[in-house]
Structure formats: C-alpha cells, structure tokens
Chains A and B, each alone.
Chain A
Amino acid sequence: MATGTNTMIKDTILKVEHLSMKFGGLMAINDFSFEAKRGEITALIGPNGAGKTTVFNCITGFYKPTMGMLTLKRSNGKEFLLERLRDFEINKVAGVSRTFQNIRLFSGLTVLENLLVAQHNVLMKASGYTILGLLGLPAYKTAAKEAIEKATYWLEKADLIDRADDPAGDLSYGAQRRLEIARAMCTGPELLCLDEPAAGLNPKESLTLNALLRGIRDEGTSLLLIEHDMSVVMEISDHVVVLEYGQKISDGTPDHVKNDPKVIAAYLGVEDEEVEQIEEQLDHGTVEGGTV
C-alpha cells in the first residue's frame, strides 16, 4: 500500500503544468497540473465527464493541448515535451504507452502477433529497415527470436500463454484487457497509461489485474491510470489525483483523498445521513430538483 511513499524522495517522471484543453466553447480541462512519480502508480479519478480521458489523450498525443506543458523525464535524464512530439513519437521516443477505454486490439492477428507488432521499432532497426531482413541476414533472425522471447515473457505474466496462437478477437473480455496491457508493455515503456483497465471485469479478474499492475510497477515501469473501480484505485495506487469539471480538486495518497470532503462530495457521494435526509425531504416534496 501507499504507506511511507511520501517520505521517500522520488524522481518525477511526468509533470503536467497548466494543462488546458478547449473543444470549441467547451473547456474540457482548465489549468490542470499534477506530477507522477517514477516507480509509482498514479491514479486519475473523477466523475463521468470530468475530463480524465481528455488528459490521457493529451499526454499520449492523440490531442494537442490548447495550453500547458507536459514534461516527461526518462530514466537516462532526457526530457521530452510531449505536446511537441508527433503522436507516434510519444511512444517511440518518449517511452509512453497506453491502453484504451474501448479495447483496441488487432483482432485479426494472433495474440503473439499483437505483441510482435508492439516491438515494431526495435525489429525495424534490427531488420535494417526491412532491406537487410529481406536478404535473410542473421541479425534480424536473432532479433526476431528475442522479440518472441519478450512476447512469451509478457504472455506468461498476463496469463495468456495458452492462447498465444489464437486470434486476439477470440479472447474473452478480461483476457483482451490483459493482452492490451501486455502489448503496451512490449513497447518497453517507462510510463504506462491505462484507461479504465478494470472496466467490465469481474471481481476475480479484477484481482489478477491488480497483481499484474503491481508486478509491472515493481519492475520499474511507472503507471498512470484512470479508473472507476474504487477497489482497484484504493488498493494499488500510491498517489491519487481527483478531477472534476476539468479541474483538480484533490491530490495525495489514497487515504488523504478518501477523507477529503471535497472528493467525498463530488465523487464518492455525500455521507449516508445526508442522503437519508435528502431522501426524506424528497418524500415530503420539499426539494425540487435542487443540486446535491
């Protein structure tokens, strides 16, 4: 759990400063800043429509933010301004990979092939941008073998090794989620962004997911995740950021956030007594569609 992490001084991997995103007249994110530490699991939570996925899309290059600065620091000390990189470079150069809320697998490719596609850039270099590989040079063959080994490693981690040769579209929903995470990990990222990884999973699958994510963190990859499932968030995250209407309302350890009255009011709901009180009032017809 998150005890004692604050006392340790950790390096920042991702720094989001004054991020704003405007869609036409709608301010989806308004002056949002937070930091994600290296080797931690940072969770981004908030009610529906708070702008979590928009933040994600800005970080992973699918949107260009209207304002703000996204700095990613790699372990070798190099810093990248994510908003200036092209979409595919965010993964290739900056080492940020992501999964999607609605799973995006290559469903007609086998599970193994999905993981090999993820190692595209490494393999491209090894195959001499295809030309040397076409000639059948040994350098590519060893690289291809290594790629399969890496894929096998992640297949075992994600408990998918028995399904390696099946089409990805044939997997169950939970397995597809795990495969998407394994695929993202095969790109060798330093920061893994997960968009609602536990959505649609049953409690048992949710538990295995927790173990998988902790394993990924313990191997040195930092995680940033959006999640609705509070059991997942409170269980595994080291640091929680709460977003509402595009603005940050709370930031801290899970325990801190859990007890923050603002968060309780906005996201986790109001206390039971208050609910009962309002329900009573509703029964008597004294409240007419008032804001809660």
Chain B
Amino acid sequence: MANVSVNVQEDVMAKAVKEGAIAGIIAFLMFLVFVGIETYQDINNQLVWRTRWGLLAVFVIVAAVGRFITVGFIKPHLDKRKLAKAKTGVLEISEEKSFFHKHFLKIALVFLLCYPFLAMMIFGRQGSLKYVDNFGIQILIYVMLAWGLNIVVGLAGLLDLGYVAFYAVGAYSYALLSSYFGFSFWLLLPMAGILAALWGVILGFPVLRLRGDYLAIVTLAFGEIIRLVLINWTDVTRGTFGVSGIAKASFFGIWSFDVGAANNFNKAWGLPSSSVYYKMFLFYIILALCMLTAYVTIRLRRMPIGRAWEALREDEIACRSLGINTVTTKLTAFATGAMFGGFAGSFFAARQGFVSPESFVFLESAVILAIVVLGGMGSLTGIAIAAVVMVGGTELLREMEFLKHIFGPDFTPELYRMLLFGLAMVIVMLFKPRGFVGTREPTAFLKTRKAVSGSFTKEGHG
C-alpha cells in the first residue's frame, strides 16, 4: 500500500517536471521575439535591436516553475481535499446559510446608514470628505444607474448600449431648467425622471422592432447623438464648456447649503463651515433614491408587467402567443429604466455643480453595462456588489500611492486601472460566468421559494 502511494507520488513528480519543462519551452518560443528581442531607435534615428536575455529568462522560469508547482503540488492537494470531502459526505454547497448570509441586506443597509458618520469619526471632518463623496456617493450613483439599466437589460433582456443618454438627459434637464428658470432640485428631480422616460419612449418607438445586435447598435448611436447634440447646440448647452454654477440641492427648501444664504444649514445648526455636511446630505439623498429604485424594481417584478418583462427576455414569440403586447411591454421597460437614469442624472448635476458632455461618453454606458453583467443580470444584490467592486476598485487604484515605491516614481496606477479592471473582469467571468449572483428569485410560489439556477435563464435577444 505504501509502495503504491510512493509510486503515485513519483509519477506525479515526473509528470510535473515534464509539464514544467514543456511550459518553459513554450514560453521560451512565445516570448523569444516579443521579450527576448527589443527594437529601439538610436541617435541616428536608425531602428536597431538588442537582446534582453535576462528578462526572457525570468519569463521562462516563471512559466516553468509555475506549471511545475501547479501540477506537482496544487492539483494533487485539491484532488485530495475533494476526495476527503466526498468520503465524509459533506455537500459542496451547504444548504445552511450563515447569519451574515441570511441578514446580508439588513446589515448592508444599516452599514450604509451609518457610513458617513463612521467615516467622519474615523477620518475626521475633512478626511471623511473623500470617503463620503468619492467612494460613497460615486458608488451609489453607479448602483442606481446599474439598477435602472438592470430593468432594461437584466429583466427585459434588451441590450441597451446608450443608457448614458438618459443619464445625460436627466443631468441637463436639471442643469438647464435650474439655471434658466431657477426651479428647485426637489421639483426638477421628478421632472428630470419624467423627461428621461419621455426620451426613452421617443427612442423606443422606432427602435424596439429591432432585436439583438441591431438594437444594441441603434441604442449606441442614440447615446452618441444625445452627446453630440449637447456638444453642438452651443446656444443652450454651451457646448463643450458645459453648464457650470448649477444650484445645490436644498434641505427640502427649509435650509440651504449655499454659503452666503441666510438660512444656511451649517449656521442654523451651529456647525462649523464645511462642505462635508452637504456631501453627507447628498449621500442620504442618493441612498434614498437607490432604495426607491430597488423598491420599485422589487414591486414591479411581482406585477404582471414585471413578469411580462422577464417572459420577454425568455421568449418573445411565446409572449405574443399569450396575448402580451410586446411593443408596449418593451417601451415600459425602456421608459422605467430611463426614468431612473434621469433621476440619477439630475442628482449628478446637483452634486457636481457642473455638467459637460465629457461626463456622458460611451465608456460610461459600458461601465454601467459591465456592472449589470458582472453582478448577475436581474439580481439587485449582485449588481450592488459589482458596483462596489468596479467603481470602488477604480477609486481605490487612485489611492495606490505605495505602488510607486515598487514600480518606480514614473508609475501612475490610475493609468493601469483599466487594464487591471479588464483583467479582473475576465477572471470573474471565468469563475462566475453568470455574474456574482447568477440565480434568479421567483416572483411567486406555491409551496417553497426556490432560487432558479442561472443555467435556465436566458439573456434575451433584444
């Protein structure tokens, strides 16, 4: 018996050595030209080449040793653990959920409610500004946008690549109407939502007979058109200069956050003059808006319209055979999603005090869509986690000053964030192809509520 296991051990080692060598050879061949040889221009502007054998050796050794360790140690270890688990009869997925898992949403909500105060306690008044504004508000804006887009993409299965257009409509609605007519934030917030929804319908009507890739392309074009209109309609939007000096949101008209105002919030409450209170106030507004979005989404899913959206994602033809008007169903999904985009947009304008077409480029749409896909289409919790990871991760990379000590003073982590980001996304998608939360909660049940596995749900065809 012992003899056998020794033999097995030797076999594994032999295999590991062999595979390590092969990996080394492949790495050598692959990187020989790319890494081993470098071309550069000399003083006479001639293109000449030199070799980098040292670097090439590092690449080859990393590949060979990495493969050796994987095959020789990591894989046998994992296999052994799996075997041991199978023997004891413990299921891979335990049915029992931990306390944290069960009450995750409540804990998260309580944490969010305390977050600004916690930040202030830990980092001081001015120090907390960054955590409340850059992390808190920024992430929550994206959570709201992604939840809004989730209605269109995750529930109704309509691939919308121009979602940022509705965000722009909301932002400019607030910026222009408040600076031209002096309307207050609390009046313009719903109005921005309604205007964005209106634009959603206007866009939706001609576009929604298209499906799949075609729909994606046209929505992409719509997003760009809105941006180009904002750039070129200089009389109204001031073009690339943007609209600045946008009025701040007031505390429901009772207190103002303008420094010079008589009913200044800080003065009224005897607080020291600091912008942090305004940011905290904004944090709670966007938190409330997010909660509204979540509440409406959860309620709508249990309404016939929400079920029709999901049915539309699963099979449009079957929907029509059941007497569901697919055009109006799609339009409502588009309009509802756009409305939340509009809310987020007007909030964004109030927070920044400045809007320009720069903020509404295609990359924004892509990031929002990436959050929805990464989180798991249709799942609010998953999307919120994805927003924290993606937006928070980006912000965190800005903070990585210590990387300069490793990679030298020329290294700017911000420039690499997109690269790291892409890499992280690929890795997540490899291990969790359905996003962080791939399962779907049924909207009605007879006996038990069982989550529907992601392998049954469809992504929709536009």
Contacts and interface: CB of A to CB of B under 8 A. Distances in A.
Interface of A: 60-62, 87-92, 97-98, 100, 104-110, 112-113, 116-121, 123-124, 127, 130, 133-134, 140, 144, 148, 152, 161, 164-170, 183-184, 187
A223 B296 CA distance: 41
B303 A108 contact: no
Interface in B293-347: 296, 299-300, 303-305, 307-308, 310-311, 313-315, 317-326, 332
Nearest to A99: B321
A110 B449 CA distance: 10
A133 B385 CA distance: 30
A161 to B, nearest CB: 8
Given A113-B443, A117-B311, A120-B307, A88 B300 contact: no
A164 B448 CA distance: 9
A62 B448 CA distance: 37
Given A97-B321, A152-B446, A109 B326 contact: no
Contact of B446 (A112, A120, A123): A112
B452 A109 contact: yes
A106 B446 contact: no
B441 to A, nearest CB: 10
B456 A108 contact: yes
A130 B300 contact: yes
B377 to A, nearest CB: 10
B447 interface: yes
Given A106-B318, A110-B442, A113-B442, A133 B456 contact: no
Nearest to B459: A108
A170 B11 CA distance: 42
Given A97-B322, A117-B308, 8 more contacts: A61-B320, A62-B321, A110-B452, A116-B304, A121-B323, A161-B446, A167-B456, A187-B323
A117 B322 contact: yes
Nearest to B458: A108
Given A120-B307, A124-B304, A187-B322, A164 B458 contact: no
Q: What 9 pairs across the A-B complex have the smallest Cβ distances?
A: A108-B457, A91-B323, A92-B323, A106-B314, A123-B304, A169-B456, A104-B318, A164-B446, A167-B456
B348 to A, nearest CB: 26
B291 to A, nearest CB: 15
A150 to B, nearest CB: 13
A170 B332 CA distance: 30
A121 B448 CA distance: 26
B232 interface: no
A161 B68 CA distance: 54
24 contacts: A87-B320, A91-B321, A98-B321, A105-B314, A106-B310, A108-B452, A109-B307, A109-B310, A112-B444, A117-B307, A117-B319, A118-B322, A120-B304, A120-B307, A120-B322, A120-B323, A121-B323, A121-B324, A134-B296, A144-B444, A152-B446, A164-B445, A167-B453, A169-B455
Contacts of B444: 110, 112-113, 116, 144, 148
Interface of B: 296, 299-300, 303-305, 307-308, 310-311, 313-315, 317-326, 332, 440, 442-450, 452-453, 455-458
Contacts of A148: 444, 446
Contacts of A152: 446
A165 B445 contact: yes
Contact of A100 (B311, B318, B319, B457): B318
Contacts of A123: 303-304
A134 B323 contact: no
Nearest to A186: B322
Given A120-B324, A152-B446, A169-B456, A130 B311 contact: no
A127 B308 CA distance: 14
Contacts of A107: 314-315, 456-458
Contacts of A140: 303
A105 B315 CA distance: 7
Contacts of A118: 322
A128 to B, nearest CB: 10
Contacts of B313: 108
Contact of B303 (A61, A127, A170): A127
B342 to A, nearest CB: 18
Given A98-B321, A106-B314, A187-B323, A124 B452 contact: no
Contacts of B452: 108-110, 167
Contact of B325 (A60, A88, A183): A88
